[in-house]
Amino acid sequence: MTETRKRVLLARPRGYCAGVDRAVQTVEEALKLYGAPVYVRKQIVHNKHVVSTLEARGAIFVEENEEVPEGSIVVFSAHGVAPEVHEQAKARNLKAIDATCPLVTKVHHEAKRYAAEDYDILLIGHEGHEEVIGTAGEAPAHIQLVDGPDGVDKVTVRDPEKVVWLSQTTLSVDETMETVARLKTRLPLLQSPPSDDICYATQNRQHVVKEIAPSCDVVIVVGSTNSSNSVRLVEVALDAGARAGHLVDYASEIRDEWLEGATTVGVSSGASVPEDLVMEVLAHLAERGFGEVTEYTTAEERLTFSLPQELRRDMKAAAARG
């Protein structure tokens, strides 16, 4: 009897997006330029491994500006902050470097613009997520959170003709569209943002997982539990037909029973996951007979973002001084 062929379908794109790459590089360059310690408000990106690696290099992660000694350097995370956080930093004489992803900044600008035009803004997102707190802080009097389709019934607006929806950048595309569809049954004149708020990287990673999931007995997503886009990838895999899905930070967390009876394993990673963690997962699977790897590509990503201007200015000045 021939043994069933075991294989891995490796999703691409996966891992670091341009915003995460920029944020991590911001902390690395700040440490090189200013020396340790460099303080970082919240996790720079939602990944356990990245945070511990940067801590080992001299980054100190704090929850709030109050924990940063006066006059020190503080980096704001990729998820964005409310305007009051910038004001608190000024009050404490902190040198703030804003590593907010430009795609999150775009949503902040939309929120400010619609608030200035006196719209009610329905922000689709997860309660308590840093990105949502930052965006809502731009116009708290105008913004109400809609946490998924079930949050639609709680919505109240002043004028059904002046209402717009915006969204957190890392949501499930399908669930967001379901929430919007439900909102439109209640508010037929609901306006959409001028361009898609869910970021290109989130959409690309979900799309490729959706393509491979129906062929997979199990999909393993490398990512941390507080990473919204990583958690969504597991949900997308299950919704698209994978028979099982699991989220792991490290290869060592993969349980042998997950692989029992499996012939095809899908592998992807969230947008804040370094590629070496994925390689470790592939090595772990190869040791268990899943040595054949086919990379399944649905998009090429070439977008890059330049470093925050505060940091670039200081790097340029340091280079000029030699």
Model confidence pLDDT, tens digit, residues 165-184: 999 999 999 999 999 999 99
CA distance 266 to 18: 23
CA distance 200 to 205: 9
Has 199 been labeled as part of a binding site?
yes
The DSSP line for 23-53 is: HHHHHHHHHHHH-S-EEEES-SSS-HHHHHH
- Encoded tokens for 50: 């990245």
206 & 280 share domain:
yes
Which one has a higher pLDDT value, 3 or 291?
Answer: 291
Structural domain boundaries enclosing 117: 103-186
Has 142 been labeled as part of a binding site?
no
Has 179 been labeled as part of a binding site?
no
SS3 content of the chain, % helix, strand, coil (to 5): 45, 20, 40
120 & 95 share domain:
no
Domain boundary among 186, 209, 227: 186
pLDDT tens-place string over residues 228-278 = 999 999 999 999 999 999 999 999 999 999 999 999 999 999 999 999 999
pLDDT score recorded for residue 180: 97
- Tell the residue number behind the tokens 């590089």, with chain if given: 25
Has 272 been labeled as part of a binding site?
yes
- Closest to 96 measured CA to CA, from 66, 74, 63, 119: 74
Has 101 been labeled as part of a binding site?
yes
Q: At 178, which helix (H) or strand (E)?
A: helix 173-186
Has 204 been labeled as part of a binding site?
no
Domain boundary among 79, 101, 123: 101
Has 269 been labeled as part of a binding site?
no
Domain boundary among 80, 101, 122: 101
pLDDT score recorded for residue 2: 46
pLDDT tens-place string over residues 119-153 = 999 999 999 999 999 999 999 999 999 999 999 99
What is the DSSP pairing of strand 59-62 with strand 38-41?
parallel
How confident is the model over 9-16, as a mean pLDDT? 98
Q: Sorting pLDDT into bands at 50, 70 and 90, what band is 4? A: confident
**Does any domain span residue 210?**
yes
- Closest to 80 measured CA to CA, from 106, 55, 56, 62: 106
pLDDT score recorded for residue 254: 98
Where in the sequence numbering do the catalytic residues fall? Answer: 131
CATH number at residue 140: 3.40.1010.20
Has 216 been labeled as part of a binding site?
no
pLDDT score recorded for residue 211: 98
Q: Sorting pLDDT into bands at 50, 70 and 90, what band is 1? A: very low
> Burial, 276: exposed, middle or buried (Cβ in 10 Å; 0-12, 13-18, 19+)?
exposed
The DSSP line for 287-318 is: HTT--EEEEEES-------PPPHHHHHHHHHH
91 & 144 share domain:
no
Q: Residue 47 above 80 pLDDT?
A: yes
117 & 87 share domain:
no
12 & 37 share domain:
no
pTM attached to this predicted model: 0.95
CA distance 177 to 286: 38
How confident is the model over 63-89, as a mean pLDDT? 97
Q: What mean pLDDT, rounded, does the chain reach?
A: 96
| pLDDT more than 70, % of the chain | 99
Beta strands in the chain (DSSP E): 7-12, 38-41, 59-62, 73-76, 95-98, 120-124, 143-146, 163-167, 218-222, 245-248, 264-269, 292-297
Number of domains within the chain: 3
pLDDT score recorded for residue 3: 55
95 & 111 share domain:
no
| pLDDT more than 90, % of the chain | 97
180 & 225 share domain:
no
Q: Residue 22 above 70 pLDDT?
A: yes
**Does any domain span residue 313?**
no
Q: At 277, which helix (H) or strand (E)?
A: helix 275-287
**Does any domain span residue 317?**
no
CA distance 267 to 253: 14
